[in-house]
Amino acid sequence: MTVDSTGLPGTTDTRTDASAPRGRRGTGCDGRPDAQRTGRLALLALAVGGFTIGTTEFATMGLLPDIAAALDASIPVTGHAITAYAVGVVVGAPLLTVLAARVSRKRLLVALMLAYTLGNVLSAAAPSIEWLIAGRFLAGLPHGAFFGVGAAVGAAVAGPGRRGHAVAMMMTGLTVANVVGVPLSTFAGQQLGWRAAFVLIGVLGAVTLAALLRWVPAGAGDTGSSVSQEVAALKNGPLWISFVGGAVGFGGMFAVYSYVAPTMTGVTGLSEGVVPVVLAVFGLGMTLGTIVGGRLADKDVLRTVWIGFGSTAAALVAFALTGQSPVPAVASLFLLGVTSQILGLALQTRLMDLSPGAPSLGAALCHSALNVGNANGAFLGGLVIAAGWGYLDLAWTGLALTLAGLVIIVLFGRKRVAHVRDDAPAPEPVRAH
């Protein structure tokens, strides 16, 4: 197994010493202005993809009451659309990453985004809640694989010492989506009908396709990996312990956030027009969590996982106790955005460190784990509401899930591994592993 100068196992050495080939197109590592520009544009295309995926992943949460009313379904049943998307991510991330191991990375990124765009167009045209659930499942299938493959491509085009920056670009697109994309799509859905939100996301998907085709260089991130190599990376007990702990524990945040719109209007007393603002505040919290979580994970990954679980539990308790008052409720949601992103970044770093032979698969598995949490949080939250309990009881349900995930990691996932760092004299904080 070879190790390139970005620290990614299984790829070809791209260092620019006397023995390395110079002028390699699109690697961004030979120091020439045209190569550097190619790398920047490719990272921008990946960031646009992250923005598109982040927008649609959370758009349904803000429009849940509107969708339920339009399709004549209850809010708990409409919440199954959120669960279906998450299940699609869980199934698609490892399956597509492994099966497409030999496919060109650029070609695979384009195919994944095309499928993603079509899934959202189908969601916009859904005539019933059942069709919407099916559309959300299809839209979720490419999600995790896109982020996993995109992380490897970004590292390849960024060049030596820039792996952290490359992955951060994709995750920045995701967090900016929660500040800008989700509130805007929610506003558009409220004003023009919920279908308009998914049409808007379809347009973003088309823009992403154009950017990928134009700016990602052919051959970027190709490693010559095989299905057997990818599958071999799955034979790792600590990897699956961390996966299960994250899948259970991250459901705590989604138990609350999946039903944030009806909670804000029905319990906190805010108007529907304020919901996009609340979503933007949550997105700002996620952006801050990206910065804080990356710095903490650079020092000690496993400890940051524990911090993420503990602080998320505290934020959920705060929301449960203050959710009836507008200012403290929104402040608690902001805090939940911070803590959940710290946890998510630490879990991604942990899973990538535990699968050094298949970094794309490790990154993809992280999104599978987080979306198992999305699915179980939304599903259990729906059961709580259908049982006649209040919306604030969702926070206590989330607390139980978060603490369960923490217990799994503390009791069974304590193995420490060497943290992968960039080979640069002054490496940047790995803010978005």
pLDDT in tens, 243-283: 899 889 989 999 999 899 999 999 999 998 899 999 899 98
> Do the domain assignments include residue 376?
yes
User: Which whole number is the average pLDDT over 118-128?
Assistant: 94
Residue with tokens 């598109």: 52
> Do the domain assignments include residue 6?
no
Host domain of residue 323? 33-412
> Do the domain assignments include residue 420?
no
Q: What is the model's pLDDT at position 414?
A: 65
Res. 427: pLDDT tops 90: no
CA gap 100, 83 in Å, rounded? 25
Between 237-249 and 326-353, two packed helices, what is the crossing angle to 10 degrees? 170
> Do the domain assignments include residue 59?
yes
**Predicted TM-score (pTM) of this structure:** 0.71
User: Which whole number is the average pLDDT over 131-140?
Assistant: 94
Of 5 and 293, more confident:
293
CA gap 132, 127 in Å, rounded? 8
Q: Highest mean pLDDT range out of 59-68, 146-155, 221-230, 318-327?
A: 318-327
Res. 45: pLDDT tops 50: yes
User: Which whole number is the average pLDDT over 84-102?
Assistant: 87
Of 379 and 163, more confident:
379
> Do the domain assignments include residue 207?
yes
Q: What is the model's pLDDT at position 218?
A: 84
pLDDT digit string (tens) for 179-192? 899 899 989 999 99
Q: What is the model's pLDDT at position 293?
A: 81
Reported confidence tier of residue 223, pLDDT bands at 50, 70, 90: low
Of 288 and 358, more confident:
288
> Do the domain assignments include residue 424?
no
Q: What is the model's pLDDT at position 147?
A: 85
User: Which whole number is the average pLDDT over 278-298?
Assistant: 85
CATH of the domain at 196: 1.20.1250.20
Q: Which of 378, 391, 289 is nearest to 58 (CA)?
A: 378
CA gap 320, 362 in Å, rounded? 34
Cβ-Cβ contacts under 8 Å for 91 (sequence gap 6 or more): 141
> Do the domain assignments include residue 118?
yes
CA gap 250, 254 in Å, rounded? 7
CA gap 106, 93 in Å, rounded? 17
> Do the domain assignments include residue 369?
yes
CA atoms within 13 A on the CB side of 24: 21
Number of domains observed in the structure of the chain: 1
Q: What is the model's pLDDT at position 144?
A: 86
Reported confidence tier of residue 233, pLDDT bands at 50, 70, 90: low
Q: Which of 342, 366, 335, 247 is nearest to 294 (CA)?
A: 342
Res. 90: pLDDT tops 70: yes
Average model confidence (pLDDT) across the chain: 81
Of 357 and 126, more confident:
126
Q: What is the model's pLDDT at position 25?
A: 40
Q: What is the model's pLDDT at position 399?
A: 96
